A and B are shown apart, each in its own frame.
Chain A
């Protein structure tokens, strides 16, 4: 059973894993979260702008949103990260003197995520029944107020599961930032695992990295399922019979 032992040793060398875990927790995890959360938040903001443009009554705004979305959704993540991260690097260095790859990495992830998030928001906004906008406008709200108070809040609620899925993608895609060259203190989960694997010739540190990603993503997938179920079934309260209907004639009299 030498071959099997060899295989187990390659993937599940507990000592190699234990050696890399502290670094992963103290350096990799915070860095991965910084990348994913900041590009997630910025992506939501930019995505909402794209969705509002994409559902606006102006053809030019709709077209602009369409073109942006097609480009950033259609090009592989790795290409965008390299183009933005390496292409704009010298410019940033000249302007700020900083060589930190994080801002440009976050920018690249944000530009990509916002294309997807924009589509998610747009589909949510467009799924809100036309009568909602009509009722709001009939009350005297302007188009913009109606969107802001009535249509968008409902649309966003409906796409929360898809939004969490997108955030899961971001956590995973943040691993690509290693391509921009990271200092030891800037490494995220994957890079730490990968470096350790390269140094030891053993893949166990990468298994540790995978486990770390699962710790982040699996609860989120369950959160998606929970939100999804909650949205579909609503609150566990049943509609009640129209008990007050009979009283209405009286109740409405002066």
Chain B
């Protein structure tokens, strides 16, 4: 799996409040083209919200978002999201559609591909995640790991420049986590630009190029994984790592 038309992604001084709740307090995050940035931190630190702000599912109050160096805040947000794939903790497959229809829906309705071509491309994506044989099943008849791999295929089908993973393995049974993480590692190796919000410290340490530690809406520490995991500079990161490792 390679040759992704991936791009770099930058969030600059991103702020977001829900009423008096200041969720993001000036986040800077830069992901080089073809690299993987993992975002770690305690629950409620704003990690998942950061992803939703960076693809404008939620509009930031302040700050800028750059895709391949160009600000995308004035673009049509729907078109921006076609360029950024996203995978969710709860998979969020469409239960009323078959597996292959889940993957081909956006190809048909947004890319306007004819039905057969969309299906062929969707089957190709399903093959890449090892689930072509489940094409005509309903999501409910798949295991969690299979559902998440379909969700990844669905996002990849749109040929995104960046992929977001929002705690993609947190809802999975332990024995199913490995398959999904292996697939994500393959994508990273293949040159996809990825932002991975995760509680999997092993993945963060071994696969990602940079690690960002967030707490209470700010970036506390950021750098190469070796540096953060072996030589944390702040008390907060030290405390977090001793809690999770």
| Chain A neighbourhood of B178, CB < 8 A | 245
Whether A139 pairs with B96 at a CB distance below 8 angstroms is no
5 contacts between A and B (CB under 8 A): A138-B81, A242-B145, A245-B176, A254-B1, A254-B190
Q: Determine whether the beta carbon of A132 is less than 8 Å from that of B81.
A: no
List B residues 48-104 near A (Cβ within 8 Å).
55, 57, 78-79, 81-82, 84-86, 88, 90, 92-96
Asked if residues A242 and B176 are in contact (CB atoms below 8 Å), the reply is yes
Which chain A residues numbered 220 to 254 have a C-beta less than 8 Å away from chain B?
A: 234-235, 237-242, 244-249, 251-254
**Interchain CB contact under 8 A, B130 and A252:** yes
Chain B interface, DSSP helix/strand/loop, else mixed: helix
How far in angstroms is the closest Cβ of chain A from B194?
14
Q: Given A139-B155, A157-B96: A248 and B141 within 8 A (CB)?
A: no
CB-defined interface of A114-151 with B at 8 Å, one 1/0 digit per residue? 00000000000000010110111111111001000110
Contacts of B78 on A, CB cut-off 8 Å?
137, 140-142
Q: Are A248 and B149 in contact (CB under 8 A)?
A: yes
A246/B179 contact (C-beta < 8 A), A138-B57, A252-B130 known: yes
Interface residues of B (CB under 8 A from A): 1-2, 55, 57, 78-79, 81-82, 84-86, 88, 90, 92-96, 105-106, 109-110, 127-131, 133, 138, 140-146, 149, 151, 154-155, 158, 175-176, 178-180, 182-183, 186-187, 190
**B-chain residues with CB within 8 Å of residue A253 when the two chains form the complex:** 1, 186
A111 to chain B, nearest CB (A): 31
Q: Give which listed residue, A132, A149, A153, A237, contacts B109 with CB less than 8 A.
A: A149
Does A154 touch B at the CB level, under 8 Å?
yes
Q: A252-B130, A254-B190 are in contact. Are A139 and B143 (CB under 8 A)?
A: no
* Contact present for A134 and B57 (CB under 8 Å): yes
Q: Are A251 and B127 in contact (CB under 8 A)?
A: yes
By the criterion CB–CB under 8 Å, are A239 and B110 in contact? Answer: no
Determine if B183 and A140 form an interchain contact, defined as CB atoms under 8 angstroms apart.
no
Whether the pair B145, A254 counts as a contact (CB closer than 8 A) is no
Excluding A132-B94, A139-B106, A252-B182, 18 further A-B contacts by CB distance (< 8 Å) are A131-B90, A135-B88, A139-B82, A139-B155, A140-B158, A145-B109, A150-B94, A154-B94, A157-B96, A239-B140, A240-B143, A245-B143, A245-B146, A245-B175, A245-B176, A248-B182, A249-B183, A252-B187
Shortest CB-to-CB span from B2 to chain A, Å, is: 5
Q: Which of A137, A145, A154 contacts B57 (CB 8 A)?
A: A137
Interface centre among A134, A240, A248 (most CB of B within 10 A): A248
- Given A134-B57, A140-B79, verify A240-B141 contact (CB < 8 Å): yes
Name the distance in Å between B93's Cβ and chain A's nearest Cβ. 8
Interface on chain A toward B: helix, strand, loop, or mixed SS?
A: helix
- Please tell me if the beta carbons of A245 and B145 are within 8 angstroms of each other in the complex: yes
Residues of B within 8 A of A138 (CB): 55, 57, 81, 84-86, 88, 155
CB-CB < 8 A to A132: which residues of B? 92, 94
Question: Bound state CA distance, A237 and B1, in angstroms?
Answer: 33
The answer to whether A139 touches B182 (Cβ under 8 A) is no
Asked if A251 and B129 sit within 8 Å, CB to CB, the answer is: yes
* In the complex, the 9 A-B pairs of residues with the closest C-beta atoms, listed nearest first: A245-B179, A140-B82, A135-B92, A251-B130, A252-B186, A138-B86, A131-B92, A242-B143, A249-B182
With A140-B79, A252-B186 as contacts: A244 and B130 at CB distance below 8 Å: yes
Closest beta carbon of chain A to B42's beta carbon, Å: 22
A131-B90, A150-B94, A154-B95 known; A234 vs B105 contact (CB < 8 Å): no
Bound-state CA distance A157–B105 (Å) is 19
> CB < 8 Å: which of A237, A240, A242, A254 contacts B179?
A242
A154-B96, A248-B129 are known contacts. Are A234 and B82 too (CB-CB below 8 A)? no
List A contacts of B129 (CB < 8 A): 248, 251-252
- What chain B residues lie within 8 Å of A140 (beta carbons)? 78-79, 81-82, 106, 110, 158
Q: A131-B88, A237-B141 are in contact. Are A252 and B95 (CB under 8 A)?
A: no
| Residues in A whose Cβ lies below 8 Å from that of B85 | 138
Instruction: Tell me the bound Cα distance from A209 to B226 in angstroms.
Output: 83
Within the complex, the shortest CB–CB distance from B49 to chain A, in Å, comes to: 12
Residue of A150, A154, A246, A251 near B128 (CB, 8 A) is: A251
Are the C-beta atoms of A149 and B105 separated by less than 8 Å?
Answer: yes
- A242 partner residues in chain B, CB cutoff 8 A: 143-146, 175-176, 179
Nearest Cβ on chain A to B113's Cβ, whole angstroms: 14
Asked whether B183 lies within 8 Å of A248 as measured between CB atoms, the reply is: yes
